[in-house]
Amino acid sequence: MISVSKALDQLFLLTKQMPTETIPLAQANGRVLAQPVAATRDQPPFSASAMDGYAVSAEGVAPGASYTVIGEAAAGHAFDGTTSAGQAVRIFTGAPVPDGAGHVVIQEDIERSGDMITITDRLGTGTNIRPAGGDFKVGQTIDAPRILRPNDIALMAAMNIATVTVARRPRVAILATGDELVMPGDPPGPDQIIASNSFGLQAMLRDAGCEARLLPIARDTENSLKTAFSLIDNADLLITIGGASVGDHDLVGDVAASLGMERSFYKIAMRPGKPLMAGTLTNGTMMIGLPGNPVSALVCGQVFVLPAVRAMQGLGQTASPEQTAQLAHDLPQNGPRQHYMRAIVEHGTIRVFDNQDSSLLTILSTANALLIAPPHAEAMTKGTKVRYLSI
């Protein structure tokens, strides 16, 4: 068995970075920006009013000062002229500040009679003007790589960027194996269960920016597995679920090897998820073989698969980010394998579920964290700071 960190190092050696593609900005949310982008204009492109009010000269702004209103400026409609001392332009939020003006007195601080306004003693502080380029200037960049989120999309739109270059989504084929499995909605036989791991992994991978598709369930025969492997097509990554152990019906490793897979490693010193393997198929597709127990498969997805697909998208070769919290209770010593324990984090403390059986999806569904107990960790008391993964 190898450690989790060494297994991750081996996985990163197998990953290949995705090629890039250029897509419309409207399709870029959730994609990984592969090349920096630069603003093509200043924002705002002119000094703009931050409030509804009156634009006046910067000099002499004080309670009691009076001005003659000579025009109006609104968003998209600038005042065509120049203001001089003693003159004001009615202005609305977002409108260009007229030439000659250096202060916007908000309308609540003004008394108006016809075309005359007077500043009241409520005059506040600040000019209420957003300077040209105050948000960003021409040439200012958004660095890559990064996962694009709605705020980034809004910023790039304001920068007048219509297309972006992103990493192609990794194509992932998911293969569940086992005579005991049927698809959700199909009537199970007396000795069968519903396939769940593949659906959880597909959702996890789609959230991580992948194109993830389910292959037909492979039965526990060499012919069925070989047929399933032939359906991989253009996948960048094949994930198999089940059949990776050493039982008489665990054939995935042998079939993959017969098809030319170069195995990188097999068996990890972790709980849950000891029977995990990885390698490369003859067509260049990376393969990760996950254990069949539902919790084991999904925990291994968090620990190994997500870092691999992030690396494929150019986001660096790093483990899933860890956080810390204080134990809400005592925790007994750990055994020789790194244990990822389902837990709940609330208000800075973490509580581990009593039952950590690797078949219990209900507990995984309730958990929002995996506490990481290192190999041979000593017993820990309440209040000890521990590491965990958010899930």
Q: What digits encode the pLDDT tens for the residues 56-97?
A: 999 999 999 999 999 999 999 999 999 999 999 999 999 999
Banded pLDDT at 251 (limits 50, 70, 90): confident
119-164: pLDDT as tens digits = 999 998 899 999 999 999 999 999 999 999 999 999 999 999 999 9
Average pLDDT on 196-225 reads 95
pLDDT range class, residue 248, cuts 50, 70, 90: very low
Q: Which of 25, 24, 82, 18 is nearest to 55 (CA)?
A: 82
Q: What average pLDDT does this structure show over 162-182?
A: 96
pLDDT at residue 95, rounded to an integer: 98
Q: Give the DSSP per-residue string, 39-65.
A: -SS-BSSS-EESSSEEEE-STT--TT-
The string of pLDDT tens digits covering residues 379-389 is 999 999 999 99
- Checking if the pLDDT of 277 tops 60, the result is yes
Angle at 118 between CA 112 and CA 122, to 5 degrees: 105
What mean pLDDT comes out for the span 310-321?
A: 96
- State residue 249's pLDDT score: 46
pTM of the model: 0.87
Tell me the Cα Rg of the chain: 31
- pLDDT for 250 equals 62
Percent of the chain's residues with pLDDT above 90: 88
Please tell me whether residue 308 adopts helix, strand or coil conformation: helix
At 267, the pLDDT band (50, 70, 90 cuts) reads confident
For residues 75-113, one letter each, b for 16 or more C-beta atoms within 10 angstroms of the residue's C-beta and e for the rest, the string is eeebbeeebeeebbbbbbebbbbbebbbbbbbeebbeee
pLDDT at 39: 97
Residues sharing a CB contact under 8 Å with residue 151, sequence separation 6 or more, in sequence order? none
User: What does the alpha-carbon distance between residue 300 and residue 291 come to, in Å, rounded to a whole number?
Assistant: 8
Q: Is the pLDDT of residue 107 over 70?
A: yes
